[in-house]
Amino acid sequence: MLRFNLLITVVALAVGRKPSLAHVLVLLFAAYSGLYASRSLPVSSLLLTLVVAPLLTQAVGEGGTNPELSSRLRASFSRWEAFGLRMASMELNLRGHIWPLAAVILGLLVCAQQGKLGPYKWMDAHF
């Protein structure tokens, strides 16, 4: 998984604009910690994704209008950009976000009352 993220990072750095020094240091730390210890894989993958995602988004946006690319590739980049814009607008509408929030609040409430909610015991965990 980390190797795939590192490959995407190298491609994004090759096609995108140059990252700042802070982003380069974060990328180096994430790559080192992910390759050094397997327990660091989730955190290093998240760090790589957070730094590389804006670079890839910008590269896709510029690829859709680049006249040096083939028309099929430009059309593909334009479809990806349109898809990203649709997903961003759907996320900003906040439809359907209340149910996960309600589940988290209910879980916290049950945990705060030691597994009980009203007369019923909903959670019984022994560690």
Closest CA to 27 of 6, 46, 48: 48
**Is the same domain home to 87 and 117?**
no
Check pLDDT > 80 for residue 126: no
* Burial of 26 (C-beta count, 10 Å sphere; 0-12/13-18/19+): middle
**Is the same domain home to 86 and 100?**
no
H/E stretch holding 117: strand 116-117
Cα 95 to Cα 108: distance, rounded to the nearest angstrom: 23
**Is the same domain home to 60 and 29?**
yes
Q: For the chain, what is the mean pLDDT?
A: 87
Q: For residue range 16-64, what is the model confidence (pLDDT) as tens digits?
A: 788 899 999 999 999 999 889 888 889 999 999 999 988 888 888 888 8
**Is the same domain home to 116 and 76?**
no
Cα 16 to Cα 83: distance, rounded to the nearest angstrom: 20
**Is the same domain home to 27 and 85?**
yes
**Is the same domain home to 88 and 100?**
no
Cα 71 to Cα 78: distance, rounded to the nearest angstrom: 10
* Burial of 5 (C-beta count, 10 Å sphere; 0-12/13-18/19+): buried
Q: Of 13-17, 43-47, 68-72, which gets the smallest average pLDDT?
A: 13-17
**Is the same domain home to 23 and 70?**
yes
Q: What is the pLDDT of residue 127?
A: 62
Question: Percent of the chain scored above 70 by pLDDT?
Answer: 98
Residue 41's contacts (CB-CB under 8 Å, 6 or more residues apart) are: 1, 2, 34
**Is the same domain home to 12 and 37?**
yes
Site of tokens 């802070």: 22
Cα 26 to Cα 53: distance, rounded to the nearest angstrom: 14
Q: What is the pLDDT of residue 47?
A: 92
Q: Which domain covers residue 16, as residue numbers? A: 2-93
Count of structural domains within the chain: 2
**Is the same domain home to 125 and 85?**
no
